[in-house]
Chains A and B, each alone.
Chain A
């Protein structure tokens, strides 16, 4: 326990602030991601989840506050430090952002060569290994235009993993997918979590994330207004904003598993939720 406290979090944000077009999009948001933990960001659209995630690797430079990688503050003015931070922080986007002119394998390979300076051969070998990890070895030669949404997102995950990141930021990784394709991506994410990857995920997949999150962070209007374990926040009598929000979106999406969400999350959280998650993760890609 004592030793654990001395290890700084892999990634930490202190009092991040961001104003966009007169809007206070982030208002002094702080969070820490200790090694191996999975945190889930939930909250209504426009709450600032994407902005927060992109501030963590300076894709959007915050107006105030600081980012610490393994306890050392990142100097965003130094291009070298910025690139090195981004190498160590993997990011997954809602709309995949695969490079459209490159095949799946080349998508994974390009940064290995350009950023890590690997040889074409080594980078290609590693790229194929990463693709097979997400179950897409046979699609390595295909271009994004010929991949399904779920396959694209899995290539994007392989691309991020190939850089050997210390932490992954996932911004609504399944929101742009057709329902029947969500499962294959969630299965890959679950696999990552089980292998101890440190992650923060913005998502609306409540039952799935409840089954693997160490902590839920509920965001609204640029602030984290509630945080705690999913069991705590989703308890039927918790009266939390999180519970109200989750009940609303699961009602709208009409998931059978989610309907029993509040009920099932009493004593046996894992058991209750895994019903929903099992349904979603049915198709295992690996």
Chain B
């Protein structure tokens, strides 16, 4: 051992991981947004869509939930370029490929929670809104969505936490995010335990921070009957 852990941490690990952290965030944030957006659309379509659309979204969800994310990542990065339609094929860089893979997969899971939130709303709620003279649109806006959102929030938040952890898979297709950077440092320094345990701490902090923020959001929206179930 040439240097102590603390020196190693200060001189090499933290600067390296810091750069990786920014790349991680640059992958996580757009994937999360994409996932929520897709999940919202797919969730609403699965409940209210016409039959063929419903079947299509169901198929999408079971396909992306039924196969490992790493297979999907591999597909978008390595296999997609081999598919040519009319002589054209799409080649994605590593970061866009990860965002696409994470967003599509996350959207499938998010749609489950959105769907559950929508289904949990009793029919009487819309009925009562219509009986007061609201249009369907007003009823959806001021009664259905606020309730569905609160019901779906814990699940959707959990899925965001998963996304943070699974963003580490981007390193498999050469993205130099947290895990990718750590792997490089480990290879160069042979200080595996120190590097990877420190990496673990980074994720723990990210995940804990995100959990805490989500709980703050949930509590600020909480009303009696829609409380977060304390674990």
Contact = CB atoms under 8 A, between A and B. Distances in A.
Contact of B132 (A95, A103, A144, A160): A160
A51 to B, nearest CB: 13
B133 A163 contact: yes
A144 B225 contact: yes
Given A59-B127, A97-B125, A100-B147, A145 B133 contact: no
A87 interface: yes
B124 interface: yes
A59 B131 contact: yes
Contacts of B87: none
A86 interface: yes
A98 B122 CA distance: 11
B125 A83 contact: no
B130 A93 contact: no
B138 A114 contact: yes
Task: Determine the interface band of chain B, counting residues with CB < 8 A from chain A.
Answer: 20 to 34
Given A110-B142, A111-B133, A111-B134, A101 B226 contact: yes
Contacts of A143: 223-225
A99 B143 contact: yes
Contacts of A101: 143, 146-147, 150, 223, 225-226
Task: Determine the interface band of chain A, counting residues with CB < 8 A from chain B.
Answer: 20 to 34
Nearest to A94: B124
Contacts, number: 79
A99 B125 contact: yes
A79 interface: yes
A84 B135 CA distance: 10
A137 to B, nearest CB: 19
B129 interface: yes
Given A93-B128, A97-B124, A115 B134 contact: yes
Given A95-B124, A97-B124, A145 B135 contact: no
A115 B150 contact: no
B226 A115 contact: no
A97 B133 contact: no
A208 B131 CA distance: 26
B145 to A, nearest CB: 10
B224 A146 contact: yes
A261 B226 CA distance: 45
A99 B138 contact: no
B142 A114 contact: yes
Interface in A91-139: 91, 93, 95, 97-103, 110-111, 114-115
Interface of B: 122, 124-125, 127-135, 138, 142-143, 146-147, 150, 223-226
